[in-house]
Amino acid sequence: MDLIDSHCHLKGFKDKGELNAVLQRAADAGVTRLITVGTSPKDWVPYREMTAANPGKIDYTVGLHPCYVDAEWSDAVSNISTFFIPPNAPVALGEIGLDYFHLPKDPVEAGELMIHQEEAFRQQLMLAGELDCPVVIHSRNAFDDTFRMIQESGVDWNRIVFHCYSYGAEEIAKINECGGRGSFTGIVTYKSAPEIRDALRSQGIDRLMLETDCPYLTPEPHRGKPNEPAFVANIAERCAEALAVPLDELAAQTSANTKAFFQLA
Ligand SMILES: [Zn+2]
Ligand SMILES: [Zn+2]
């Protein structure tokens, strides 16, 4: 069984000297490829170096995550295009988007930050259109604005993934209708998340991709421990059960989907 973790954050493991052990445990669990996702200028260069050191095993993306957007966002965003040059170019732009869940309590501060998030998202979508590359979307408590801004950007929906899908079945139907997709994390294993499994079934297996989003969102039965790429295997099992397909088939299909979406060599 060959699984892909289509969205993880490996910098913390590297900084603690745990990366090789984490990669070994992933390989032992059948997770043979990983995409480590950029969030701010602090991780873009380390991820490029990780990709260069692990060809065919680790790929990376570059983007300014909405939770890292501040008043200085445009300096960071203006550097993104310099990464999209071979060798070791990123496989996607992301993660980018809108996050209204983690806003400050003060309504004035929150409003200012929302404007910055929107501007940073708009500019990065424009860049993605120019680069004609896949786009990893982070969207939390902000479905309508996220959807509208992607529509307005003119970016090809076939290039769009709503990572860590956390909306309902109705929203994913809307995304799928346009040509976009959702990828699913350990949330699908949580007893408390039947609506996420409904969304999973609504989309089906045809464009499904799996991800841990580690070190966050540890799946069952590992909750309480830090998340890591090996646990894609647990997410795959739960998705296979929810979709009533054999695990082997789900692994093969999700890996093929991920390779095609990110154009992995
Ligand atoms: Zn995210
Ligand atoms: Zn992430």
Q: 204-252, pLDDT tens digit by residue?
A: 999 999 999 999 999 999 999 999 999 999 999 999 999 999 999 999 9
Q: What average pLDDT does the segment 6-29 reach? A: 98
Q: Distance, CA 211 to ligand 2 centroid (Å)? A: 9
Q: Distance, CA 196 to ligand 1 centroid (Å)? A: 16
Burial class (CB in 10 A: 0-12, 13-18, 19+), 41: middle
Q: Distance, CA 157 to ligand 1 centroid (Å)? A: 18
Ligand approaching nearest to the C-alpha of 164: 1
CATH code of 3-262, in short, is 3.20.20.140
Q: 51-87, pLDDT tens digit by residue?
A: 999 999 999 999 999 999 998 999 999 999 999 999 9
- pLDDT for residue 235: 98
Q: 115-131, pLDDT tens digit by residue?
A: 999 999 999 999 999 99
pTM higher than the cut 0.75: yes
Ligand approaching nearest to the C-alpha of 6: 2
Ligand approaching nearest to the C-alpha of 212: 2
- pLDDT for residue 1: 85
* Average pLDDT in the chain: 97
Q: Distance, CA 37 to ligand 2 centroid (Å)? A: 6
Q: Distance, CA 88 to ligand 2 centroid (Å)? A: 20
Q: 175-210, pLDDT tens digit by residue?
A: 999 999 999 999 999 999 999 999 999 999 999 999
